[in-house]
Amino acid sequence: MKVLMIGAHQDDNEFRCGGLAHKLVRLGHEVRFLSMCNGCGGHHIMTPEETVKRRAGESAAVAELLGIKYDVWDIDDCTLVADLETRRKLIRYIREFSPDLVISHRQNDYHADHRAVGILVQDASYMLTVPHECPDVPAMRRMPVIMYNEDAFKNPEFQADLVFDMDSEIDTKLRIAHTNISQVYEWLPYTNEQEVPENEQERFEWLKGMEITESTTDEEIMAASRGYSVRFAKTAARFRKELIRRYGEERGAKIRYAEAFELCEYGRKLDGEVKQVLMAI
């Protein structure tokens, strides 16, 4: 199976579907990340050019860690728009890879770049199969299955159609976060007015936010305010009902970390190999 995960920025795929990416790679599937923006806006001290270069290095490290190919388009942060030119660029790009599954943003989002990605993916979906649109790249015979990453926006609210146990992936997900140094230890703490410890080990503990054990309750997790362990645990706490429905009462109640996805109605129906693979995870 070929899977394409499309984010606006270099960290969107990592944090929202990095665990699923890692699981799929280990099962022998081919996973590719695309960041539609180049990362130029993500720093308060480095110049945009320096930031693009540094982010590219961090993304290359993530690609190696996950065993994936990672493409970054040269579109400046905060300037992505869902115009015809970008839609056609995306149609050609998706056709060339010809994925069975695409994962991306919903268009309900605070960030204009995320919204634009959501719209572009939806606008491209049916056109992927239309031969006279972008005739220089052969059209796909079938649309891919399309899913949206989890978000917290409420109008309308994200629906967790598919939930996955990510307990085996928490170390990888934290290592991915730790690899994005310019983001998690520099830029995001700057925007959130947080102090970051200097020492490497203390920094990593700070990154996690809180020690989550078997006895930590969903209420405690939902009440915690920061940290990547907390962030990934919140998905499990938020969608406890769905995890129990999927994995049964005993296992579902114990899962600490999860990833959740909503099916996009403009993609192919979830069936065949894609369904089989996802249901076995």
Which of 120, 277 has the CB closer to Zn ion?
120
Which of 8, 82 has the CB closer to Zn ion?
8
* Angle ∠(117,75,172) on CA atoms, nearest 5: 65
Peptide bond into 156 cis (omega under 30): yes
Which of 32, 114 has the CB closer to Zn ion?
114
Which of 8, 177 has the CB closer to Zn ion?
8
The distance of closest approach from Cβ of residue 12 to Zn ion in the complex, given in angstroms and rounded to an integer, is: 4
Do 256 and 212 contact (CB within 8 A), yes or no?
yes
**Considering the rule CB under 5 A, would residue 116 count as an interface residue with Zn ion?**
no
The distance of closest approach from Cβ of residue 9 to Zn ion in the complex, given in angstroms and rounded to an integer, is: 4
Distance CA 51, CA 207 (A): 21
The distance of closest approach from Cβ of residue 114 to Zn ion in the complex, given in angstroms and rounded to an integer, is: 6
The distance of closest approach from Cβ of residue 80 to Zn ion in the complex, given in angstroms and rounded to an integer, is: 10
Cα dist from 150 to 5, 142, 187, whole Å: 13, 25, 22
Which of 9, 173 has the CB closer to Zn ion?
9
The distance of closest approach from Cβ of residue 266 to Zn ion in the complex, given in angstroms and rounded to an integer, is: 22
The residues near 277 (Cβ < 8 Å, ≥ 6 apart) are 1, 24, 27, 29
CA nearest 90: which of 108, 109, 71?
Answer: 71
CA nearest 7: which of 88, 71, 82?
Answer: 71
Site for Zn ion in 3-42 (CB under 5 A): 8-9, 12
Distance CA 37, CA 113 (A): 8
Of 1-9, 48-56, 57-65, 117-125, which part binds Zn ion (CB under 5 A)? Answer: 1-9
The distance of closest approach from Cβ of residue 41 to Zn ion in the complex, given in angstroms and rounded to an integer, is: 10
Distance CA 11, CA 16 (A): 8
Which of 25, 188 has the CB closer to Zn ion?
188
Alpha helices in the chain (DSSP H): 12-26, 48-66, 84-97, 112-127, 170-179, 181, 188-191, 200-208, 218-223, 228-238, 240-247, 249-254, 272-279
The distance of closest approach from Cβ of residue 267 to Zn ion in the complex, given in angstroms and rounded to an integer, is: 21
Which of 9, 87 has the CB closer to Zn ion?
9
Query: Measured at CB, which residue is nearest to Zn ion?
Result: 9
By rule CB under 5 A, what count of residues binds Zn ion?
Answer: 3
Which of 8, 174 has the CB closer to Zn ion?
8
Distance CA 91, CA 139 (A): 9
The distance of closest approach from Cβ of residue 160 to Zn ion in the complex, given in angstroms and rounded to an integer, is: 20
Residues near Zn ion, by CB under 5 A: 8-9, 12
